[in-house]
Amino acid sequence: MNAFILLLCEAPFCCQFIEFANTVAEKVDRLRSWQKAVFYCGMAVVPIVINLTLTTLLGNAIAFATGVLYGLSALGKKGDAISYARIQQQRQQADEEKLAETLEGEL
């Protein structure tokens, strides 16, 4: 059942003779990456919780892996060190300006 749902959501062209395949795929495409990640990982964990066997674990590994990949894409790209250093420098300058203003106000 999980494999059919995964195939229906990710590759609706494989289910072209099922009338509702395109509508399901369109609804899934409108979801955000983190929502897809929760859906696929949850879909994979439920059978494992019900019956923990090697075949259940291996059978749901692909759905769980798909959820993990969507989760990683939801996190986004790692920032580079140069932009991080610029942000830190701007914050430090703002803090120094606030400190200078408070010291001038006390005098």
Q: What average pLDDT does range 70-99 have in this prediction? A: 81
The alpha carbons of the chain give a radius of gyration, in whole angstroms, of 24
pTM greater than 0.75: no
pLDDT at 31 over 80: yes
52: left (phi over 0), alpha (psi -120 to 50) or beta: beta
What integer pLDDT is reported at residue 107 of this predicted model? 59
**pLDDT (tens digit per residue) in 37-71:** 898 899 889 988 998 899 988 888 888 998 899 88
79 DSSP assignment: P
* pLDDT attached to residue 79: 64
Query: In this predicted structure, what is the pLDDT of residue 106?
Result: 65
- The per-residue pLDDT for 22 is 82
